[in-house]
Amino acid sequence: MHAALFALLPVLALATPVDKRWTASPYVGSTTTDLFPPTGTKVNSALFPGETAVGYPGVTLTGVEPAAIQTAPVYPYSDETASEFPLVADQPEGGSNFDVFKYWGNLSPWYSVPSSYYGLGDASPLTPEGCSITQILLLYRHGARYPTSGALPSSFAAKLHTAAVNSTWSSWGELDFLNTWTYKLGAELLTPFGRLQNFELGVEMRQQYGYLLNNFTSTDTLPVFRTESQDRMVKTAENFAAGFFGVPEYLDQVNIEIVIETPGLNNSGAPYEECTNSNVASRGSIGSTLATAFAVNAFNSTLDRLNSQVSGISFTPNDMVSMLQLCSYETDALGYSAFCNLFTEADFENYEYYYDLSFYYNNGYGSPVAAAQGKGYLEEWVSRFTQTPITKWDAANNHTLDSNSTYFPLNQSIYADATHEVVVLDTLTAFNLSSLFSTGALPTKQRTNSSFKASQVVPFGTHFLTQVMECPAMTPTKQMRFLVNDAVLPIDKSYAGCSYNKDGLCSFDNVVSVLQKRIQEIDFNYDCFANYTATPGVDYNGRAPRNA
Residue 3 has pLDDT above 50, yes or no: no
**Distance of alpha carbon 496 from alpha carbon 510, whole angstroms:** 8
Q: Do the domain assignments include residue 26?
A: no
Residue 386 within a domain: yes
Mean pLDDT of the chain: 90
Sign of the CA dihedral running 329, 335, 338, 341: positive
Confidence label for 167 from pLDDT (cuts 50, 70 and 90): confident
- Does 32 score more than 70 pLDDT? no
Query: Is residue 15 over pLDDT 50?
Result: no
Structural domain for 216, as ranges: 50-548
- Is the pLDDT score of 31 beyond 50? no
Q: Kindly indicate the confidence band of residue 36, based on its pLDDT and cuts at 50, 70 and 90.
A: confident
Number of domains in the chain: 1
**DSSP symbols for 368-385:** SSHHHHHHHHHHHHHHHH
- The pLDDT tens digits of the residues spanning 364-381 come to 999 999 999 999 999 999
CB 287 within 8 A of CB 357: yes
Other CB atoms within a 10 A radius of the CB of residue 518 amount to 19
Q: Does position 145 have pLDDT exceeding 60, yes or no? A: yes
Percent of the chain with pLDDT over 70: 91
Decide if 32 is inside a domain: no
pLDDT of residue 79: 53
CA–CA gap between residue 418 and residue 427 (Å, rounded) = 13
Nearest to 377 by CA among 543, 138, 202, 544: 138
The closest of 20, 18, 15, 7 to 412, measured between CA atoms, is 20
In this structure, which amino acid lies at residue 199?
Answer: F
Tell me, what's the pLDDT at 318? Answer: 96
Domain membership flag for residue 361: yes
pLDDT at 82: 57
The answer to whether residue 448 sits within a structural domain is yes
Predicted local distance difference test score (pLDDT) of residue 314: 95
How far apart CA 169 and CA 159 sit, in angstroms, is: 12
**Torsional class of 542: left (φ above 0), alpha (ψ -120 to 50), beta (otherwise):** left
Whether the CB-CB separation of 141 and 419 falls below 8 Å is answered with yes
Say whether pLDDT at 433 is over 60. Answer: yes
Three-state secondary structure of 480-541: EEEEECCEECCCCCCCCCCCCCCCCCEEHHHHHHHHHHHHHHCCHHHHHHCCCCCCCCCCCC
Confidence of residue 308 (pLDDT cuts 50, 70, 90): very high
* 140 located within any domain: yes
- What distance in Å separates the CA atoms of residue 475 and residue 482, rounded to the nearest whole number? 19
Of the candidates 535, 89, 122, the one whose C-alpha atom is nearest the C-alpha of residue 333 is 89
Q: What is the rounded average pLDDT of the residues 54-83? A: 75
Cβ atoms 168, 312 nearer than 8 A: yes
pTM of the model: 0.91
Residue 77: pLDDT band (50, 70, 90) is low
37 occurs within a structural domain: no
Q: Which range (21-30, 220-229, 308-317) has the least confidence?
A: 21-30
CATH of residue 233's domain is 3.40.50.1240
Q: What is the 3-state secondary structure (H, E, C) of 272-293?
A: HHCCHHHHCCCCCCHHHHHHHH
pLDDT tens, residue by residue, 264-287: 999 999 999 999 999 898 899 999
> How far is 43 from 253, CA to CA, in rounded Å?
7
Q: Which of the four pLDDT bands, split at 50, 70 and 90, describes residue 97?
A: confident
